[in-house]
């Protein structure tokens, strides 16, 4: 990318997104997930994050959030940014040889001030310590409640400019928390903060799936004493049963254009995969035709094919079928139990759960070469899904009988564990990138 001063200004667009996000999530304090990192990347980029000018006065300081994000990714090493005189906030204040002496490849500086309309004016720059040039520079305008999101957006810029991959710090995750006999569908920031309950029920909730625009969740609720697929707007909280046919209705998966869902229905006998409209209109169109179980559909990013789990060959294995109909083709062959396929964002591979002995592990298979890499060695891993940049896989696991969320980098090197204050957490899914 062009690394010269591409200064400032997608701001009005950002403000619109922020306004929507704020409408979605009025601030509510809730139990938070804490993240603990195990392992690290083969090469970590040394970066110094200098506290921004005047951020001490903010309700939410920015640079601690940014530093925690980068460290948690496993791809960065934080270089001590203390003791510089003067503390640099502008490019001309940066003493590059000193940063090189500390081992920093990149230095992040910034400043906060009040804009005329009362919002905060937050400007920051990413500097290349070796070349002594600016890699990126942006200004954001944010209200107090938008400070944390701003820190995530700044983290995304730093991550993208230094690794070449899009950052996913400004995205969110959803999961189901079980507290006593209550089931809560929650949405939190990707760093586990700001968890909010979007649905609470006395009956189980499973299989939440984000719409491609990040504004809706499809999920399965058992509130009617049977599994029914709902779609709920995160903007309005409104929801609708979109698959409530005789028998069981489950395993919703969005088409990439957000207009259709693949679901598993038993209305014609046996669990089979159907396509329905995401608003629940019209008649379901049957996609698979087998006397076996066909379930857990997942669209390829190009919308042309679907991966699913089927036990038509005996044990459960992963198959692929064209969305337009046609023959299903088996694509997993190692092991006797392969389930829960989810495509990578580039469509070249998929993650799934493979049983090895009595263990259930997260694995990745390359679609073209069929090469399988098992990424975890835990006991009972479930429900893997890729982060929208394809670098991390989020999944559910169990520690001492309690469900927690965990993440592993797609090369298996970096692990994260999300620990909740209480209860049992399962069924995670990572949101798409909403918009830049």
Residue 134 or 288 having the CB closest to another protein: 288
Residue 207 or 300 having the CB closest to another protein: 207
**Minimum distance between the CB of residue 246 and another protein, rounded to whole angstroms?**
6
**Minimum distance between the CB of residue 426 and another protein, rounded to whole angstroms?**
8
Whether the link from the prior residue into 86 is cis, omega within 30° of 0, is yes
Residue 155 or 376 having the CB closest to another protein: 376
Q: Are strands 45-49 and 106-114 parallel, antiparallel or unpaired?
A: parallel
How far is 195 from 31, CA to CA, in rounded Å?
7
**Minimum distance between the CB of residue 30 and another protein, rounded to whole angstroms?**
23
Instruction: Judge contact between 151 and 60, C-beta under 8 A.
Output: yes
Instruction: Judge contact between 83 and 102, C-beta under 8 A.
Output: no
DSSP sequence for 330-354: E---SSS-EEEEEE-TTSSEEEEEE
Distance set, CA 89 to CA 110, 127, 414 (Å): 5, 11, 32
Instruction: Judge contact between 215 and 209, C-beta under 8 A.
Output: no
Structural tokens at position 140: 């954001």
**Minimum distance between the CB of residue 139 and another protein, rounded to whole angstroms?**
45
Residue 134 or 250 having the CB closest to another protein: 250
**Minimum distance between the CB of residue 337 and another protein, rounded to whole angstroms?**
7
Residue 13 or 399 having the CB closest to another protein: 399
Coil/strand/helix, residue 283? coil
Residues that bind another protein (CB under 8 A): 204, 206-207, 222, 225-227, 246-248, 250-251, 264, 266, 269-271, 293, 295-296, 309, 311, 316, 337, 339-340, 353, 355, 360, 380, 382-383, 401, 427
**Minimum distance between the CB of residue 397 and another protein, rounded to whole angstroms?**
13
Residue 138 or 308 having the CB closest to another protein: 308
Residue 138 or 395 having the CB closest to another protein: 395
How far is 196 from 204, CA to CA, in rounded Å?
18
Residue 100 or 359 having the CB closest to another protein: 359
The closest alpha carbon to 374, from 343, 408, 397, 348, belongs to 408
**Minimum distance between the CB of residue 264 and another protein, rounded to whole angstroms?**
7
Neighbours of 137 (CB within 10 A): 19
Residue 124 or 183 having the CB closest to another protein: 183
How far is 276 from 259, CA to CA, in rounded Å?
9
Structural tokens at position 226: 């049977």
How far is 327 from 122, CA to CA, in rounded Å?
55
| Spatial strand order in the sheet of 372-374 | 338-343, 349-356, 359-366, 372-374
Q: Is the dihedral of CA 166, 171, 176, 180 positive or negative?
A: positive
Residue 39 or 379 having the CB closest to another protein: 379
**Minimum distance between the CB of residue 185 and another protein, rounded to whole angstroms?**
14
How far is 354 from 91, CA to CA, in rounded Å?
51
**Minimum distance between the CB of residue 62 and another protein, rounded to whole angstroms?**
39
Instruction: Judge contact between 134 and 127, C-beta under 8 A.
Output: yes
**Minimum distance between the CB of residue 121 and another protein, rounded to whole angstroms?**
47
């Amino acid at each position: 990318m062009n690394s010269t001063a591409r200064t400032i200004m997608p701001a009005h667009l950002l403000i619109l997104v922020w306004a929507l996000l704020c409408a979605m999530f009025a601030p509510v304090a809730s139990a938070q997930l804490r993240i603990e990192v195990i392992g690290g990347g083969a090469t970590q980029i040394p970066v110094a994050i200098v506290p921004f000018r005047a951020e001490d006065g903010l309700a939410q300081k920015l640079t601690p959030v940014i530093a925690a994000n980068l460290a948690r990714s496993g791809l960065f090493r934080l270089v001590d940014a203390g003791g510089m005189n003067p503390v640099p906030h502008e490019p001309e204040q940066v003493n590059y040889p000193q940063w090189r002496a500390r081992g920093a490849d990149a230095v992040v500086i910034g400043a906060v001030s009040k804009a005329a309309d009362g919002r905060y004016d937050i400007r920051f720059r990413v500097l290349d310590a070796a070349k002594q040039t600016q890699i990126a520079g942006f200004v954001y305008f944010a209200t107090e409640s938008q400070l944390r999101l701003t820190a995530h957006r700044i983290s995304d810029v730093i991550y993208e400019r230094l690794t070449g991959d899009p950052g996913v710090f400004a995205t969110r995750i959803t999961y189901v928390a079980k507290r006593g006999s209550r089931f809560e569908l929650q949405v939190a920031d990707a760093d586990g903060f700001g968890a909010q309950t979007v649905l609470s029920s006395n009956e189980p909730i499973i299989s939440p799936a984000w719409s491609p625009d990040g504004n809706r969740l499809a999920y399965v609720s058992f509130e009617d004493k049977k599994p029914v697929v709902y779609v709920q707007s995160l903007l309005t909280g409104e929801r609708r049963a979109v698959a409530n046919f005789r028998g069981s209705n489950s395993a919703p998966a969005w088409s990439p254009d957000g207009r259709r869902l693949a679901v598993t229905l038993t209305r014609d006998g046996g669990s089979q995969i159907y396509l329905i409209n995401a608003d629940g209109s019209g008649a379901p169109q049957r996609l698979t035709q087998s006397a076996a179980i066909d379930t857990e559909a997942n669209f390829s990013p190009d919308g042309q094919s679907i991966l699913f789990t089927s036990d038509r060959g005996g044990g459960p294995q992963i198959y692929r079928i064209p969305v337009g109909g046609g023959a299903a083709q088996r694509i997993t062959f190692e092991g006797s139990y392969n389930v829960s396929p989810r495509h990578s964002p580039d469509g070249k591979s998929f993650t799934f759960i493979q049983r090895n002995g009595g263990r259930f592990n997260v694995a990745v298979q390359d679609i073209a070469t069929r090469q399988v890499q098992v990424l975890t060695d835990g006991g009972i891993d479930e429900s893997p899904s890729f982060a929208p940049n394809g670098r991390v896989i989020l999944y559910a696991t169990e520690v001492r009988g309690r469900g927690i969320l965990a993440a592993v980098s797609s090369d298996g090197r970096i692990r994260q564990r999300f620990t909740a204050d209480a209860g049992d957490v399962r069924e995670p899914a990572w949101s798409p990138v909403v918009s830049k």
